[in-house]
Amino acid sequence: MPNRHQNLVGRVYHHLTVIKDDGARGKSNAVMWLCLCDCGRYTHVSTAMLNSGEIQSCGHTHLKNIQPSEKRHLSQLSDRLPKNNHTGEKNISVAYRYGKQVYRVAIMYQRHQHSGFRHTLPEAIKLREKLRHQFWPGY
């Protein structure tokens, strides 16, 4: 049976160096560790994920092959809706804030999300168009 009270501070797991127990707990009350990746980003990882090697970095090793391209932007601009879209509008989803239904607008550009919430669908469409013109060159 593994030691349930492991102190991993200072240990290095692939790209991650354990900084401290951040006080948060994951599934089954698992200790979540604050880790510093080689690339400089911080991430939270459970003891089990570190020991098993399932998580080896903050995710930067998977992102280095993703480059912005014209093809990527054209696919975002298509009129094809995702299967789980319930609003009938691309980049707009239904969300609940403070117990009330609102529309969430989310535009991705160079791995950064730009978003906002609106109370009505026409307001959300107006915000989506504003964000598209602002963040998608040549839209």
In the prediction, which pLDDT does 78 show? 58
Residue 77 has what pLDDT? 56
Q: What is the pLDDT of residue 56?
A: 81
| Predicted TM-score (pTM) above 0.75 | no
Compute the distance between CA of residue 45 and CA of residue 85 in angstroms, rounded to an integer: 31
How far is CA 64 from its chain centroid?
16
Per-residue confidence in pLDDT tens, the chain, 139 aa = 455 577 888 888 888 889 998 888 877 788 889 898 887 788 888 888 888 888 888 776 665 444 555 555 555 555 677 777 778 888 888 989 889 999 999 888 777 788 899 999 999 999 999 988 888 776 6
Within 10 angstroms of residue 92's Cβ, the number of other Cβ atoms is: 20
- Nearest-angstrom CA–CA distance, 111 and 31: 29
What whole-number distance in Å separates Cα of residue 19 and Cα of residue 9?
5
